[in-house]
Amino acid sequence: MIERRNLLKGILGMTAVFSAALLIPKLAFAQWSKAFDANTTEKAMTDMFNKTETTKSDKIYLKVPEIAENGAVVPVNITTDIDNVKTISIVALKNPQPLACSFTIPEGTDSDVSIRIRLFETMDVQAIVETHDGTLYSVQKEVKVTIGGCGG
């Protein structure tokens, strides 16, 4: 009797897990593996967006430090006034794998994300905003990453 109850619990539990998994867009999984492994910005852009051209926009507000306190923990905040945002991505142009992360912005979610990334050296950090019609907008800023000193 008890065994049957546990078996049913187990089946119901598994069903819950599977149905939750189905709700997460499959597209996310498919896009993941290639673009994030790319060793050049061109390849990462091609794998992620099928294009490499972006339009510079002054409607993207990229907040990064001028000088990173700690190159392993660099805070990045991106907000934008652009409408119909599909994704916001961060490209660290001189990192071994330039595509650092990508955020899907569903309807109702603000185009305002914050994260901390690793930068291996001084480089430009680029914010790419993708709209639902496939256009890519971007802005970039330099972040200085230093070593050497005493800790202050």
Only one residue has tokens 């994260």, namely 115
Q: Identify which range of 6-14, 50-58, 64-72, 129-137 contacts another protein by CB under 8 A.
A: 64-72
**Amino acid at site 14:** M
Residue 108 burial (CB count, 10 A) = 5
How many Cα atoms within 13 Å fall on the side-chain side of residue 72?
A: 1
Determine if 66 is a binding residue for another protein (CB under 8 A): yes
State the virtual CA torsion across 118, 30, 63, 109 in degrees, nearest 10: -140
Distance of closest approach, residue 1 Cβ to another protein, in angstroms: 31
Distance of closest approach, residue 3 Cβ to another protein, in angstroms: 27
Q: Give me the residues that bind another protein (CB under 8 A), please.
A: 20, 23-25, 28-29, 31-32, 36-37, 65-70, 72-75, 77, 92, 95-97, 99-106, 108-110, 112-119, 146-152
